[in-house]
Amino acid sequence: MPPSPDHAAGTAAPAGRSRALQDPEFRKLTVLITTAFIDMLGFAMLFPLLPFYALRFHATPEMIGVITASFSVAQLASAPLWGWVSDRYGRRPALLVGLLSSAAAYLVFGLATSIWLLFASRLIQGAGGGTTGVAQAYVGDSITPSRRAQALGWLSAATSLGVAIGPAIGSWSFHIGPAAPGLVAAVLCLVNVYFTWRWLPESRVPSATPPGGVRKKPEVWRSLSDVVAHPFRPVSRLVWIYGAGMLGFSAMTSVFALFLSARFGVTEKNIGYFFVYTGALSFLMRAIVLGPAVRRLGEVGAMRLGTIALVVGLAIYPWVPTIWMMPLVMPLIPIGTALLFPSTTALMSRAADQAVLGTTMGVAQTFAGLARVAAPLISTSAFQRFGPGAPFYVAATIVAVVGVAAFKLPAAVARPAEGSP
């Protein structure tokens, strides 16, 4: 990670974090961060339970992979369009519609009586879940380039905290009844809708209608084709890195419950605590470690270190001999993703055309969505056909091959953001 140190994380020491909390830029993000936390809380309540609910309806591991992937299929179609909608009409309306979709999806999940209703729940949530890029674009609107990695890290920390708490609430509420986790998540999401509608300010002024009343059509599909046709351009390269990292992470999470069940007899009553542990690690990494890491290594350096940690973590999972050894190995993947994703997104926000930042972030989420579609299909198929360890080897190989791009970024992208201290 040799390129010149990038101070884009801004203040990283405890005193620096205290000053950042008093900064007007970061205060503007308080509601967005809270919104992201509550949204992920509901998602994390249900995700660890999904394989066990599907098994109740006699699903095979490969069928569970298809159900898991259905979320990303819907998200794949919606993410770039949400990005354009947020560029055209504002970030706030896009986020509100996405939250309402999640509430509906959680309600369907809680009341599901067949495997097809689980499918429907995932599809509804995925269609409204293409707003991750919108939240990232909100940060791009509100924070100066030299400080976006830290702001994106805080946003990621909020979602990681949701991941840390949500599974425990999901496992606890399951004791009340199978419908309880979905219903509780739906209520939380509706509260979040009101909170967002009441207090989240718009970060972007909607573009005016051009002379003659003709609105410019979205450039979503051109942006997508550019990433494929020109993979070595700075933004395209970053999109590919982001997507590969997401594939590795999603492959792990797609079979994690099945892996622990097959190897160590874990059930739906205690699976949540493993997700709590990884979520807590992710939160600590993003809230405390990411800032100093970016300040010391630069965004490119942090991205490279994250790629290495993710590959190593995936490769050694199958070698864990006992459940008591799992806590020693599990930190590698949260460390890798905490360094990789915010740093890559911050670099992307700086390299992109600011006039279509929402569209660019939406395109990145489309590639992440492709990874989330492919990952569960690949990993559950490998699990069923070749054994519990196979998905981790496949994912590690893919991340390693694409991750080489993280070591060959153009100098213009690797250079510290203008205005860095």
Does position 9 have pLDDT exceeding 50, yes or no? no
User: Which of 188-197, 213-222, 236-245 tops mean pLDDT?
Assistant: 188-197
Confidence at residue 108, expressed as pLDDT on a 0 to 100 scale = 95
Show the CA angle centred on residue 70, arms to residues 69 and 76, nearest 5°: 90
Fold of 24-203+219-414: Growth Hormone; Chain: A; (1.20.1250)
Summarize pLDDT for 37-72 with one digit per residue, the tens.
888 888 889 988 998 899 889 888 889 888 988 887
Q: Which residues contact 391 (CB under 8 A, 6 or more apart)?
A: 251, 252, 254, 255, 259, 378, 379, 380, 382, 383
CA nearest neighbour of 343 among 418, 414, 282, 399: 414
Task: Please compute the mean of the pLDDT values over residues 77-96 and round it to a whole number.
Answer: 80
Q: Which two tokens stand for residue 388?
A: 């519990």
Confidence at residue 1, expressed as pLDDT on a 0 to 100 scale = 32
Task: Please compute the mean of the pLDDT values over residues 240-267 and round it to a whole number.
Answer: 86
Does position 112 have pLDDT exceeding 90, yes or no? yes
Q: What is the mean pLDDT of the chain?
A: 78
Whether the Cβ atoms of residue 337 and residue 310 lie closer than 8 Å to each other = yes
Does position 399 have pLDDT exceeding 80, yes or no? yes
User: Which amino acid is it at 289?
Assistant: V
User: Which amino acid is it at 87?
Assistant: D
Confidence at residue 137, expressed as pLDDT on a 0 to 100 scale = 80
Does position 110 have pLDDT exceeding 90, yes or no? yes
Whether the Cβ atoms of residue 73 and residue 348 lie closer than 8 Å to each other = no
CB atoms within 10 A of CB 353: 11
Specify the range with the lowest mean pLDDT, choosing from 27-31, 202-206, 364-368, 411-415. Answer: 411-415
Confidence at residue 215, expressed as pLDDT on a 0 to 100 scale = 45
Q: Which two tokens stand for residue 226?
A: 């550019």
d(CA 332, CA 253): 14
The domains of the chain are located at 24-203+219-414
Does position 281 have pLDDT exceeding 60, yes or no? yes
Whether the Cβ atoms of residue 338 and residue 156 lie closer than 8 Å to each other = yes
Residue found under tokens 């890290």: 153
